[in-house]
Amino acid sequence: MASLLLVADALARVLNGVEPLPREDAPLIEAEGRVLGADVAALRTQPPADMSAMDGYAVRAADVAQVPAALKLIGEVAAGRPFDGEVRAGEAARIFTGGVVPPGADTIVIQENTARDGDRVTVEQPSPAGRHIRRAGLDFRAGQVLLPRGRRLTDRDVMLAAAMSHPTLPVHRRPKVAVLATGDELRPPGSALGPGEIVYSNGYALMALARNEGAIVTDLGIVPDKVEATVAAIRKARASGADVLVTTGGASVGDYDLVQRGLKAEGLELSFWRVALRPGRPMMNGRLGRMHVLGMPGNPVSAYVCSYLFLVPLIRRLSGRSDLSPAPESAVLGVDLPENDERADYMRATLAPGPHGTPVVTPVKIQDSSMMAALANADCLLVREPFAKATPAGSRCSILRLTRPS
């Protein structure tokens, strides 16, 4: 029997030789969540000129050093309508927020500190030079790289890119992920179940997980335990242009575990199919031409944990990201734990505030890989390495946070 592969070694094999997908230009409205394939520099300076930050009057600071100061109103400046003139001694220009500060003026007096009478304005409080003026280039300057390659774009990044005058952005193509379930016993949610039949749930979580990572997902549905049906679904995944085929169930070598058989009939280059992992030992990885293949176990928690550990980094690498794996965090054990065996343990657990800011983690009592309610309510996965020694409560440990319902 083949030896079990350590989780880190298995992940290294999954990612071996994987390069980010080619670049394409995405319109700004479609860029959020995408990963930049090149540095993006500003095409303009922001603000492009000295601008008023308030409604008021553009004046010379020297003219309002002593108040009250009566000034002659010589014009008006609105956003997008600069003043065609110069503010000289004893003069003021009415200005609105976003207006270009006219030549000669070096400060803005807010309108609340003035009194106007026709073409005369009286300044009642002094305003030092530079007050309420946004200098040219205060935010950024043309040519400045503000969005680096490899950055996953947020809504704020998209706003910045628009201000930089980019109508499109160079991003990596989104990975295409096809999800296939196998099993004569599986029925869609809402079905009337016969003896021995169960509701199919795995794929819904895996497809949501893939979408959250920015992938385009194709649902191949459920196929029966027949090699011909499995091969037909695999061919459908290839025809769709999938970058990754994810299967759930049938990844082992039992009489009814036909995924490997169907994949090998299509030319699968198998990398591994057993990992020193709990839950999730019978996980498969390989390549079918350019398509990556991840065969997940049939138990729902096992399928989810394996996808979290292997599918997420694969999607991120294909997307061009550098932060491939979820980042581990430190926590304090809330209970004693016995020694571990040869498999790394990823235990569903909940978190509570700790006395010194470090969270206290408590694994759920029953870690059966079929229990979806415990997974849905978990805050994190408590990670234990193979052959970990018995560990008392209060000890430091490592966790991987899960998305928690609010």
Least confident of 92-106, 161-175, 250-264, 289-303: 250-264
Residues 381 and 308 in one domain: no
Structural domain ending residue among the three candidates 266, 294, 319: 319
Rg for the chain (alpha carbons), in Å?
A: 31
> Contact at 8 Å (CB) between 155 and 32?
yes
What per-residue confidence (pLDDT) applies to 258?
77
* CATH code of the domain in which 71 resides: 2.170.190.11
Residues 241 and 365 in one domain: no
Residues 189 and 153 in one domain: no
Taking the model in full, what pTM does it have? 0.88
Q: Does 283 fall in a domain?
A: yes
The per-residue pLDDT for range 255-276, each reduced to its tens digit, is 446 788 889 889 999 999 899 9
Q: At what angle do helices 312-319 and 7-15 cross, to 10 degrees?
A: 30
Least confident of 69-83, 128-142, 242-256, 327-341: 242-256
Residues 277 and 357 in one domain: no
- The yes-or-no verdict on residue 253 having pLDDT over 60 is no
Helix (H) or strand (E) holding 372: helix 372-376
Phi, psi of 26 (to 5 degrees): -110, 135
The rounded mean pLDDT for the chain is 94
The per-residue pLDDT for range 116-145, each reduced to its tens digit, is 999 999 999 999 999 999 999 999 999 999
What per-residue confidence (pLDDT) applies to 226?
87
Structural domain ending residue among the three candidates 319, 343, 359: 319
Least confident of 114-128, 169-183, 260-274, 339-353: 260-274
Q: Does 312 fall in a domain?
A: yes
pLDDT band for position 1 (cuts 50, 70, 90) = very low
* CATH code of the domain in which 349 resides: 2.40.340.10
Residues 302 and 203 in one domain: yes
pLDDT band for position 3 (cuts 50, 70, 90) = confident
Residues 378 and 279 in one domain: no
* CATH code of the domain in which 244 resides: 3.40.980.10
Q: Does 294 fall in a domain?
A: yes
Share of the chain above pLDDT 70, in %: 97
pLDDT band for position 406 (cuts 50, 70, 90) = low
Average pLDDT over residues 245-264: 76
Q: Does 140 fall in a domain?
A: no
Structural domain ending residue among the three candidates 272, 293, 319: 319
The per-residue pLDDT for range 11-24, each reduced to its tens digit, is 999 999 999 999 99
Q: Does 324 fall in a domain?
A: no
pLDDT band for position 254 (cuts 50, 70, 90) = low
Q: What is the largest CA-CA distance in the chain?
A: 96
pLDDT band for position 75 (cuts 50, 70, 90) = very high
Least confident of 1-10, 209-218, 262-271, 275-284: 1-10
Residues 204 and 159 in one domain: no
Residues 221 and 239 in one domain: yes
Q: Does 406 fall in a domain?
A: no
Rounded distance between C-alpha atoms, residue 2 and residue 222, angstroms: 29
Share of the chain above pLDDT 90, in %: 88
Q: Does 396 fall in a domain?
A: yes
Which residues constitute the domain of residue 334?
A: 329-401
Q: Does 199 fall in a domain?
A: yes
What per-residue confidence (pLDDT) applies to 251?
59
Structure-model confidence comparison of residues 253 and 204, the more confident one: 204
> Contact at 8 Å (CB) between 98 and 81?
no
Residues 291 and 342 in one domain: no
Sign of the CA dihedral 247, 273, 329, 312? negative
Residues in the chain: 406
Residues 181 and 308 in one domain: yes
How many folded domains does the chain comprise?
4
> Contact at 8 Å (CB) between 297 and 364?
no
Residues 254 and 162 in one domain: no
106-119 burial string, b = 16+ CB within 10 Å, else e? bbbbbbebbeeeee
What per-residue confidence (pLDDT) applies to 259?
83
Residues 28 and 168 in one domain: yes
* CATH code of the domain in which 30 resides: 3.90.105.10
